[in-house]
Amino acid sequence: MSESASNPKDELQQIAPGVYVHTGYEGANVGCILTDVGAIVVDTPLIPEEGKAWAAEVLRLAKRVLYVFNTDHHRAHIMGNQYFDAPVIAHELAWKEMSSYRDAFIERTKNLFKRQPEIAAQFDEVVIKKPEITFTGRLIIKKGGREVHFIYLGGHTPATCGVWLPKEKILFTGDVVVVGEHPSLGQSNSKEWLETLARLRRMSLNAIVPGHGPLCDVEATQPISEYIRLMRLKVRNQIKAERSKSEAATVVSQMIDYFPYRPGDRSFVEKRIRAGVNRIYDEIKAAYDEGKGAGEEDSLS
């Protein structure tokens, strides 16, 4: 893990009237949507001190916080929930996952920063604040002069959702879209992910707020689709050659240079790719076992 931003205020951007995005915290991007009666927060920082800083920043922008929305249940999106005095909204399956988080989950998060003990110590105060409002398909809030759609996206995880602002044509995608890094496929449905990306390319979007990386447009979905299709092809070839899942791990070395990474992060990236290879192996193998995979091609545009 990298060191946190030294001056996180530098990364706060207003991308439309009353719509703010922060890309400088460790973990995922976070957002703030202002209404006339308070703010809706999109995701919260991973590191506790940054979670507190984001909460303070939001309260400088808004009268109060109405809701916190988590795009999925992964630690990069949820660890700062406790610093906001507002109910959390998420997919029903995100609630199910987060309800299972115990001290061991926080300890594993803490261990990510074992080389940065001053950050690791911050997690001693963390509690997991679970969603109080859940949905499965779409939830629309019309409040304070603003219309906000919380929409199921899927693909990245069974719980991954986004935030759609129809007037501004801005979409917060969570980790369905990431820019300049390997997407995380360890809990994915890769075919659904390809379908979701193809659907996004048919939308009229002024801006995408990705889960990680700088703001982008719909063209940023193409490298992710190409990456997923390539990994599926390589894994399918392993299955056709009757190689085991462990033997299919050779795909990791074939994929690792697809996106750049910092030299010190190689081990982390390899683990991420390996998890994706394993997931896709199971996905495609199941299709073959059901007699549905032999003629399948990744032709989604």
- Find where tokens 């074992």 sit: 114
CATH superfamily of 8-222: Ribonuclease Z/Hydroxyacylglutathione hydrolase-like (3.60.15.10)
pLDDT of 222-269, one tens digit each? Answer: 999 999 999 999 999 999 999 999 999 999 999 999 999 988 899 999
Q: Where are the beta strands (DSSP E) in 96-206?
A: 133-135, 138-143, 146-152, 161-165, 170-178
Among 145-159, 251-265, 286-300, which stretch is predicted with the lowest mean pLDDT?
A: 286-300
- 78: Cα separation from own chain's centroid: 10
Mean pLDDT of the chain: 94
Report if pTM > 0.85: yes
Average pLDDT (278-291) is: 93
Boundaries of every domain in the chain? 8-222, 227-289
Type of residue numbered 73:
H
Type of residue numbered 104:
A
Average pLDDT (169-178) is: 98
With both helix axes pointing from N to C terminus, report the angle between 190-201 and 266-289 in degrees, rounded to the nearest 10: 100
